[in-house]
Structures are given as structure tokens and as C-alpha cells.
Chain A
Amino acid sequence: EVQLVESGGGLVQPGGSLRLSCAASGFTVSSNYMNWVRQAPGKGLEWVSVIYSGGSTYYADSVKGRFTISRDNSKNTLYLQMNSLRDEDTAVYYCARETLNWYLDYWGQGTLVTVSS
């Protein structure tokens, strides 16, 4: 059974850093495209970042230069390193698997990041 479990969220001050983790089971992270999607309180979905199976990475303009997506193949885990956090980064962060047919078929339960002083 495919499962994605996020962790690492919490309260952080503006300018601070946080690393989110997404532990996968039932499939191999490195063989798939893996995405991070976020949702600010009461708002819609915002795509954040993707890492392709070949290792290429892409980011939304809103996080480029501040966030880094990566994976640990030995742990079958996806990460999102978030630096220079801003109030507007407050959101629930979801990891999601993207199939080779370009859709997000499995999502984690989400982890809440709150940026506030």
C-alpha cells in the first residue's frame, strides 16, 4: 500500500528555517516525480516544488532561492528545506507523488508550518 507521511512542521519565526520530511512506503521515491504543494489557511492549493526521478528540481517563483527539495534514497524520504521563512509561507504543506502520466495520485496528510513572531 502506498503511503506518504509528512513531518517537521511547526512554529518558526520570520527569517528562520525548517526542514520538512515525507516518508514514503509502498513505492520508491527515486523512481517517481515527487512534489510539494502548500495551502495557506482558507486559501487554495499552491504548487511549490518538484524533483524528477533523474534529479532535476524546479520551484515556484515564490520560494525560489529559499527552498530546496531533495531526497534520501536510502531512507525513501523526500525533504523540503525551507530557509528565510516569511509570514506568507504559513500553510499546510503536502507531499505528493506524480505519476509518469503527469498527475498527483497519492498525497500525504499534510504538515502545518506557521511563520510568526
Chain B
Amino acid sequence: DIQMTQSPSSLSASVGDRVTITCRASQSISNFLNWYQQKPGKAPKLLIYAASSLQSGVPSTFSGSGSGTDFTLTISSLQPEDFATYYCQQSYSTPRTFGQGTKVEIK
């Protein structure tokens, strides 16, 4: 099984900050990497697919990059509604494993 490791597990940031979350796969997954946002009590929401493609309706402050084993989710200017937990997921093979999550909190 492919293991997905996110870092950091949590971070504190202020509105307007640039935030970067990293996801590393235990083996190459090409660009089969997706990012989701989850708020408390809600279902996850797709942000980025295929490592760098922005899902329709997602603000352009979100971006993704990377290929192979190392990937990054960047929020260029953190907004109040962006405080949430973020998960990466590989779709290269089954099982479709998720990272452990990164909680973005208000500083």
C-alpha cells in the first residue's frame, strides 16, 4: 500500500498569510494526487485534483504542485473561511490512501 505523509500536522496562521502544506508519497504516484478541505461536522470538499488542477468554484488563492513523491498545497492569502483541516489523497492505486491531515488554525 502507498503511504501518504503530510506535514505539518497542524499550523497556526493569520488572515492574509501564505500557507504551505506538504504531502509525500511512499512511492512515485505521478500526478495522481488530490487535495480536500474539511470543516468540522461537514463532508470533505475537493480543492485540487491531478496535483495542480483547481476544482471548479474553488478560489484561485489555492494552488497545488508536485509530481512523483512530493506535493504541495499552497494558500496564497489565508482567508477566514480557509481555517479547516486539509487532506491529500493518492489515486494512483487501490487502496486510495489519505494523508493524516493538516489542521490550519487561527493564530
Q: Is B96's CB under 8 angstroms from A50's CB?
A: yes
Contacts of A46 in B (CB 8 A): 98
- B49 CB within 8 Å of chain A: yes
Within 8 A of A (CB), among B22-55: 32, 34, 36, 38, 43-46, 49-50, 55
Q: Counting CB contacts under 8 A, is A67 at the interface?
A: no
Q: Is A44 interfacial (CB-CB < 8 Å)?
A: yes
Report the minimum CB–CB distance from A96 to chain B (whole Å). Answer: 8
Chain A residues positioned under 8 Å from B14 (CB to CB): none
Chain B residues contacting A98 (CB-CB under 8 Å) are 91
A39 to chain B, nearest CB (A): 8
Q: B100 within 8 Å of A by Cβ?
A: yes
Q: Is the CB of A58 within 8 A of B46?
A: no
Q: CB within 8 Å of A: which of B76-103?
A: 85, 87, 89, 91, 94-101
B interface list, Cβ under 8 A from A:
1, 32, 34, 36, 38, 43-46, 49-50, 55, 85, 87, 89, 91, 94-101
Known contacts A50-B96, A101-B49; is A44 also within 8 Å of B43 by CB?
no
**Interface presence of A9 (CB below 8 A):** no
Q: Which residue of B lies closest to A57 (CB)?
A: B94
Provide the residues of chain A in CB contact with B44, threshold 8 Å.
Answer: 37, 45, 94, 104, 107
Of the candidates B36, B43, B96, the one whose C-beta lies within 8 Å of that of A109 is B43
Say how far A62's CB is from chain B's closest CB, in angstroms.
9
Please pick, from B49, B55, B94, the residue contacting A50 in the complex, using a CB distance under 8 A: B94
